[in-house]
Structure 1
Amino acid sequence: MPQATQTTYPLAHYIEVLDRAGVLWCAPQDAGDIQIDFATDDSRAAVPGTLFVCKGAAFKREYLVGAIGAGAVAYVSETDYGVDVPCLLVDDIRRTLAVLADTAYDHPSGRVQVCAFTGTKGKTTSAYYLKSVLDEHARLVGCHTAGLFSSIEFDDGVDAGISKLTTPESFQLERQLANAANSGIEHVVMEASSQALKYDRTACVEFAVGAFTNIGEDHISPIEHPTFEDYFSSKLKLFAQSHAAVVNLDMDHVERVLDAARACERVLDAARACERVVTYSLADERADVFAEQLTHTDRGIVARVRTPRFTDDVLVATPVKFNISNALGAIAVAEALGIERDAIVHGFEHLRVPGRMELYPTESGRIVGVVDFAHNGMSLETMLRDLRENYPDRELAVVFGATGGKGVDRRDTMGIAAGAYADRIVITEDDPGPEDPADICATIAKRVEEQGNGNWQIVLDREEAIRTCVRETTRPSVVIVTGKGHETRMLRKDGSVPCRADGPVLQEALAAFEAGTL
């Protein structure tokens, strides 16, 4: 299947849609009949007949000149650069990007059902869970498997690969949606990050279902969200574009989330309003989707799930209760879509999410290894608390670090969580970026100590930290490695450098421990 192509429009058409979107400031009066064959924000992609978009604080005039040299016939910008092609001046370049990309690809989200998850934690797991249900639906009815745009990987029916951003920039996102629509894909599952919502990357995407998993303090920094309010309000923007809303009743600030969903439900513009709000919960029986009973088995947790249409047992291959919440969220989305019961009941049985609660038990049963992406205090606390409940007689040993240069509160919140719930702690590097990893680890250690937990050590080399944690196990244990999950790059002062994923390193350490050679 070839890449989706853009539709040729006269420049007047783009002028009209920008004006209708309320972002156009000024446009030439006599250039509307210029034909636009391609629109882009990448000067390297410009071809004859291009409408070029000047974006970003680091934009240089030379990029525009290069695009014109390659054939650009007009440009869109917040600044008039005085070049010899027509200029469309706008007052909000980020929203402009979304409008132009959606227009160029003929609003592809109107031709495929897009389901988006937002929330502080659980977005990726929820997305994979829903994709697994939708893929089972595809098998049952004989349609194309679901597209996936996650923080780990993407697959749009034409292209597939490793993701660079949780939610792509507007032109890439709309191209991928167009690829999915042209490939005959019925459903696309994606993560909607707070940054993408705040900066309007998704502004023109029509969501069949928008799901809100939970909210906690994360990504609060000068380069991300300056305040919790900015972070929270950015995520709530999802509902204004969703035909149906899914809400977790167990989250903090749930009333505000429900108010936002119900406000959209009352909007008069039927093209943008929520037509239905579906709730889910592990604790509140009033929820539309509710887990009446949980049973732990060797294959995972069996949840007795009640939905508006049926009650049945659902096996989810996970050792922790919080992933059942993610499964209920996926089921709630499937309910909103009208997916058949059999696809929902059997859609989770063989699923594995890369770097998310991956289990590595030793043959002897002495150690249960766990690799997870938990990279903030909220996620780490939830995971450790659940594992403590599920493995009450085992030592909980955890290896983790915290990022540098962003999310600076994580070193505090993760240190507090580990100090409160873990028996043994090995602190190591995790994308230190511009900072000295030893300084980050020292801050974490201080927070661990404040919880009255003195059983910690710092091992800066991440692989050695994992081996150390396994080597020093003296009784039946759960060894948890968290923070990087599936990732194979480490961000340091001099840039991104290769590293091994946590899973293979932990597997090797566990095998050596079993063989007595660690």
Structure 2
Amino acid sequence: MRLSKLFKNAPTTNVTGLCFDSRKVQPGNVYFCLPGMTHDGHEFIKQAVEKGAICIVHSKELKPEEMPVGAIYIRVADTVDAMNQAARIFYSKPSDKMLMYGITGTNGKSTIANVIRNIRNKKEPTGYIGTIAIEYGNVRLQPDLTTPDALFLQEKLSEMVRHGMKACALEVSSHGLAQRRVDGINFDVAIFTNLTYDHLDYHGTMKSYFEAKSLLFSERVKPTGKSILNIDDACFEKLQRISQAPVITYGIEHECDYRAINVQILPKQSKFDLVYQGKTYPVVTNLVATYNVYNLLAAIAALHETDMDLDVILEACKNLPQVDGRLEQIDMGQPFHVIVDFAHTPDGMKKMFQFGRQIAQTHKLISVFGSAGKRDVAKRKVFGELADQYCDYIILTEDDPRDEDPAVIADQIEEGIESSNHVFIEDRYEAIRQAIESANPGDCVLLLGKGDEPYIYRENGRAPYKGDNVIAKECISKYCRHINEAVDDVNEDESFIEE
């Protein structure tokens, strides 16, 4: 592509690519000098030119000695905005060629995005970008971030278009919104799940955290699109006021456009009646837990509001593919429950403990978890308090410790534990093994925080990790052979109802 297509009055020099990391510049690239939290891209202009950058886009005034020969220099008011707009053009505006669903909120993004993709795929090819993977057609890639940087994002959306995708479900994180990674995308549908305590190490306050999330509805969703909002969340009215698109509501506790009533939560399925425009539709789904009823309502509303037949959607809800690491029930014939979940916020942990307690009933609830290093320290004691309230046996372990000592993190969690039996086992594999080995018939084991992530962050960066779901299966296979699966006092059809 010609540089003149990206910037007015620029030369017709050929551009091979766009880049904001001087270490990754290739010959013929445009290099954008982005401001950073620790470094400023303007500091690396020389390196970029040496690597072959043919154009430098900058916002600061440069001295002659700061402008190596061999490159074209374009000054703009905002390099982030310039990069977003250039990326849209360079990759042929891919998001304009697909139906774009954007999902934001503290919890539930991955589940909603995957439900949308799986059901929408029955109508037309649909892609997904989020915490779990980047998927389109037969392509599956491991992401580095929930919401990738703007250049990578536009490139992958462009590849989706080339692979025939007609829609895309994209998880939109608060970091992605605050750092303007999705500024080059206009969403057809914006979905809000909930807002609870998280990421205050980055945002500072809940107010700033909310303001970041709200950008999806005030700026990024098309005025002709739809904002799908959780009416039961405390942030609903604020989002309703600022949304530049018409608002569609979903919930359980209040009257709304898509409401679930008569909710029954069973160990392996959920049932409820969907009330929509005065009519009642019975819904049965293999998703479990009340919070997943909310997630399903959001997906149903988003799909139906984008011209999918409601009967087709509800039929597909009966047997949805398991979302890896999200309330994933590991069933290998063992006479106790093992559940893997990505929960890593106080609200997410509480909901998992409540669900686990309901599953275990009078049997033991065993949990394995930790807390990420170099992240919000205040929530660690809260994790301990929550676990102490619901669990019989707690195994504290590593969870992306980075350069912090896992034992110190465990000590901080332990401050909230007063009565529950607990132990610290640093190696996460060993912690899971002990939980599995200590489970008796009817017990429930919760493995929380990592889900299916195939890596763990330690002092020297990302290290390989099998994922809690894979390790759980290995441990059950290795250490449960001695258990008699025909246990007379355990009724495997035992269920509970939550209304």
The TM-score normalised by the length of structure 1 is 0.85
Deviations 1:485-505 (A, max 9, x none): 111222112222222211122
Task: Name the structure 2 match of 1:251.
Answer: 233
Distance of 2:94 and 2:141 partners within structure 1: 21
Distance of 1:258 and 1:490 partners within structure 2: 38
- Report the CA distance between 1:132 and its aligned residue: 1.4
After TM superposition, which residue ranges in structure 1, 4 or more long, deviate above 6 angstroms? none
Matched, 1:301 2:282: no
Match of 1:237 among 215, 224, 232: 215
Residues 339 and 216 of structure 1: is their aligned pair in 2 closer, same or farther, counting only changes over 3 Å?
same
Distance of 1:303 and 1:110 partners within structure 2: 36
User: Aligned partner of 2:33: which letter?
Assistant: C
Distance of 2:372 and 2:280 partners within structure 1: 43
Matched, 1:50 2:29: yes
User: Aligned partner of 2:29: which letter?
Assistant: T
Contact 1:361 1:369 in 2 (8 A): yes
Task: Name the structure 2 match of 1:430.
Answer: 399
User: Aligned partner of 1:458: which letter?
Assistant: F
User: Aligned partner of 1:352: which letter?
Assistant: Q
Task: Name the structure 2 match of 1:419.
Answer: 388
Partner secondary structure for residue 202 of structure 1 = coil
- Report the CA distance between 1:199 and its aligned residue: 1.0
Distance of 1:440 and 1:257 partners within structure 2: 36
Distance of 2:270 and 2:137 partners within structure 1: 32
User: Aligned partner of 1:73: which letter?
Assistant: I
Residues 129 and 60 of structure 1: is their aligned pair in 2 closer, same or farther, counting only changes over 3 Å?
closer
Contact 1:280 1:328 in 2 (8 A): yes
Deviations 1:461-490 (A, max 9, x none): 111111222222345211000100111222
Partner secondary structure for residue 227 of structure 2 = strand
User: Aligned partner of 1:459: which letter?
Assistant: I
Contact 1:425 1:457 in 2 (8 A): yes
Distance of 2:87 and 2:314 partners within structure 1: 38
Task: Name the structure 2 match of 1:511.
Answer: 477
Deviations 1:176-222 (A, max 9, x none): 1222223331110010010110011101201010101000110111x
Matched, 1:351 2:337: no
Matched, 1:463 2:445: no
Task: Name the structure 1 match of 2:56.
Answer: 75
Matched, 1:34 2:16: no
Match of 1:120 among 103, 106, 130: 106
Distance of 1:281 and 1:77 partners within structure 2: 47
Distance of 2:152 and 2:279 partners within structure 1: 39
Distance of 1:86 and 1:309 partners within structure 2: 63
Distance of 1:398 and 1:343 partners within structure 2: 38
Match of 1:500 among 435, 447, 466: 466
User: Aligned partner of 1:164: which letter?
Assistant: D
Matched, 1:481 2:447: yes
Deviations 1:387-412 (A, max 9, x none): 32354333211100000101223312
Residues 303 and 9 of structure 1: is their aligned pair in 2 closer, same or farther, counting only changes over 3 Å?
farther
Task: Name the structure 1 match of 2:182.
Answer: 202
Distance of 1:412 and 1:252 partners within structure 2: 24
Match of 1:136 among 116, 122, 129: 122
Distance of 2:395 and 2:272 partners within structure 1: 34
Residues 440 and 298 of structure 1: is their aligned pair in 2 closer, same or farther, counting only changes over 3 Å?
closer
- Structure 2 portions without partners, runs of 5+: 485-499
Contact 2:199 2:209 in 1 (8 A): yes
- Report the CA distance between 1:69 and its aligned residue: 4.6
User: Aligned partner of 2:164: which letter?
Assistant: G
User: Aligned partner of 1:14: which letter?
Assistant: L
Matched, 1:107 2:93: yes
Task: Name the structure 2 match of 1:312.
Answer: 281
User: Aligned partner of 2:140: which letter?
Assistant: A
User: Aligned partner of 1:110: which letter?
Assistant: D
Aligned residues: 471
Contact 1:404 1:435 in 2 (8 A): yes
Task: Name the structure 1 match of 2:173.
Answer: 193
Distance of 1:362 and 1:49 partners within structure 2: 54
- Report the CA distance between 1:344 and its aligned residue: 0.9
Distance of 1:477 and 1:246 partners within structure 2: 38
Distance of 1:364 and 1:386 partners within structure 2: 19
Aligned-residue identity in percent: 26
Contact 1:322 1:386 in 2 (8 A): no
Deviations 1:218-258 (A, max 9, x none): 0111xx21222111100000012212101011223322222
Contact 1:403 1:410 in 2 (8 A): no
Contact 2:330 2:338 in 1 (8 A): yes
Distance of 1:298 and 1:438 partners within structure 2: 34
User: Residues 223-234 of structure 1: matches in 2 within 5 Å?
Assistant: 224-234=202-212
Distance of 1:308 and 1:339 partners within structure 2: 16
Task: Name the structure 1 match of 2:250.
Answer: 280
- Report the CA distance between 1:158 and its aligned residue: 8.3
Residues 464 and 312 of structure 1: is their aligned pair in 2 closer, same or farther, counting only changes over 3 Å?
same
The TM-score normalised by the length of structure 2 is 0.88
Contact 2:359 2:444 in 1 (8 A): no
Residues 46 and 493 of structure 1: is their aligned pair in 2 closer, same or farther, counting only changes over 3 Å?
closer
Matched, 1:95 2:81: yes
- Report the CA distance between 1:296 and its aligned residue: 4.3
Distance of 2:47 and 2:296 partners within structure 1: 49
Contact 1:302 1:316 in 2 (8 A): yes
User: Aligned partner of 1:107: which letter?
Assistant: K
Residues 246 and 47 of structure 1: is their aligned pair in 2 closer, same or farther, counting only changes over 3 Å?
same
Task: Name the structure 2 match of 1:25.
Answer: none
- Report the CA distance between 1:114 and its aligned residue: 0.8
- Report the CA distance between 1:48 and its aligned residue: 5.6
Matched, 1:153 2:133: yes
